[in-house]
Chain A
Amino acid sequence: QVQLLESGPGLVKPAGTLSLTCAVSGGSISGGNWWSWVRQSPGKGLEWIGEINHSGSTSYNPSLKSRVTISIDNSKNQFSLRLSSVSAADTAIYYCARKVVVANWFDPWGQGTLVTVSS
């Protein structure tokens, strides 16, 4: 079955850029699904960040849109998140997830990776 695995630095300096990658195994990223990023922090709970499909079309949460870029690499079967100008409020567990075809719920999810913003 499809599995997702996040990777990237666990510590980012304030005002820097957070960069994460989600590797997809057990299935092709080039199908009909959309691929999402969701984060979880104690203060804001679960927050949808944005998503991308195989052709590179994206949709972002307006609250983060000015700072977020999601990209896809079909040849490597992975997609990525970049969040710029980070602050302590961006400290969270970041999950990648597959959005099911023709619906807006998530299954499966990656295991998550903790990113801390601190100097």
Chain B
Amino acid sequence: DIQMTQSPSSVSASIGDRVTITCRASQGISSWLAWYQQKPGKAPKLLIYAASSLQSGVPSRFSGSGSGTNFSLTISSLQAEDLATYYCQQANNFPLTFGQGTKVEIK
């Protein structure tokens, strides 16, 4: 199985700050990576697919980059509604696997 490792496990930032989360795959996955946002008590929601494509309706302050084994999700200007846990998921090999999550908190 491909292991997905996210860092940090949690981050606390102020409104307006730039926040970057990284995700590393245990083997190359090209651009077959998705990012999800999970708000407390809710199901995950697709934010980014194909490593850098923004899902329809997702604010432009979210962006993704990377390929191969190293990926990142950036929130350019943190908003209060971005309080959530973010997960990466590799879409290259079965079984499909997820990172352990990064919790974003507001200072």
On chain B, the residues within 8 Å of A103 by CB distance are: 32, 49-50, 91
Q: Does B40 contact A (CB under 8 A)?
A: no
Number of B positions contacting A (CB below 8 A): 23
Judge whether B95 and A109 touch: CB under 8 Å. no
On chain B, the residues within 8 Å of A111 by CB distance are: 42-43
Min C-beta distance of B28 to chain A, whole Å: 16
What 1/0 flags go to A45-76 for Cβ under 8 Å of B?
11110000000000101110000000000000
CA distance A46 to B96 in the complex (A): 10
Min C-beta distance of B11 to chain A, whole Å: 17
Judge whether B98 and A106 touch: CB under 8 Å. no
A61-B95, A104-B96, A107-B55 known; A46-B34 Cβ under 8 A: no
Q: Does B52 contact A (CB under 8 A)?
A: no
On chain A, the residues within 8 Å of B97 by CB distance are: 48
How many residue pairs, one in A and one in B, have C-beta atoms under 8 Å apart? 54
On chain A, the residues within 8 Å of B62 by CB distance are: none
CA distance A112 to B50 in the complex (A): 25
Judge whether B98 and A46 touch: CB under 8 Å. yes
Judge whether B98 and A45 touch: CB under 8 Å. yes
Judge whether A109 and B96 touch: CB under 8 Å. no
A45-B100, A59-B94 known; A105-B43 Cβ under 8 A: no
Judge whether B95 and A106 touch: CB under 8 Å. no
Judge whether A106 and B32 touch: CB under 8 Å. no
Quick one: which of A47, A62, A106 contacts B46, CB cutoff 8 A? A106
On chain B, the residues within 8 Å of A107 by CB distance are: 45-46, 55
Quick one: which of A48, A95, A100, A112 contacts B96, CB cutoff 8 A? A48
Interchain residue pairs with CB less than 8 A apart (17): A46-B44, A46-B89, A47-B98, A48-B96, A61-B94, A61-B95, A62-B95, A95-B43, A100-B49, A103-B50, A103-B91, A104-B96, A105-B46, A105-B91, A107-B45, A109-B44, A111-B42
